[in-house]
Amino acid sequence: MSAMLTIKGLKVAYGGIKAVKGIDLSIQPGELVTLIGANGAGKTTTMKAITGLLPWAEGDIEYLGKSIRGVKAFDLLKLGLAMVPEGRGIFTRMTILENMQMGAYLRNDTAGIKRDVDKMFGIFPRLQERRDQLAGTLSGGEQQMLAMARALMSQPKLLLLDEPSMGLSPIMVEKIFEVVRTVSGEGVTVLLVEQNARLALQAAHRGYVMDSGLVTMTGDAKDMLDDPKVRAAYLGE
């Protein structure tokens, strides 16, 4: 089976800083892969390069077997690559329902869109209760749910999640990870960047550790949970 996403020797610099210094990473269809590491390790920069938001200096990124160098974020979305960015990026002056419909703006299957809206409300009942409320009035956790629902409305093949649990209460974090596992279980391929390394590794099939712009470790997520180095550096033990 050929990889859905392959990163080879990727180097990204911005503002004069070499943020990513030559990394390799691959994701097979249907996998949930997590990228963990301290702040400033280069995780978000990697995500922005994948989604066409940052140009890269060297190396290549292949999605579905083709290089995506220079492909715009909008065109990547058409190819099934969607991202929930750090900070969520919802449309605060639109209602919850309108935000979700925006996620489907590249689709024209009206019945399918309606079915998916109902499905999202099934996954996120709190959003259904507030469907006509302006998104800006939601709590941080509810906004994160909405950002995920909106991305899923585009029917992505590959979903990138950048720090989905950041700033959320423990109960909300649990709910978000429940959804991540559900989405993965339905066959969507997921790349998860997450500061909560324990939850990320518990949910993922495989993990990569980034440190100072380099991948320093990779392996089976469950094995990494038991690795003394990972436990000491990222699990606070």
Digit-by-digit pLDDT tens for the chain (237 residues) are 789 999 999 999 988 889 999 999 999 999 999 999 988 899 999 999 999 999 998 999 999 999 999 999 889 999 999 999 887 789 999 999 999 999 999 999 999 999 999 999 999 999 999 999 999 999 998 999 999 999 999 999 999 999 999 989 999 999 999 999 999 999 999 999 998 999 999 999 999 999 999 999 999 999 999 999 999 888 876
CA distance 188 to 159: 7
Identify the structural domains of the chain with CATH numbers, from first to last: 30-52+72-234 (3.40.50.300)
Report the DSSP beta bridge partners of residue 63.
Answer: 5, 66
At 16 the pLDDT is 84
At 122 the pLDDT is 94
Report the DSSP beta bridge partners of residue 219.
Answer: 207
Q: How many CB atoms lie within 10 A of CB 223?
A: 12
Q: How far apart are the first and last CA of the chain?
A: 37
At 237 the pLDDT is 61
At 1 the pLDDT is 73
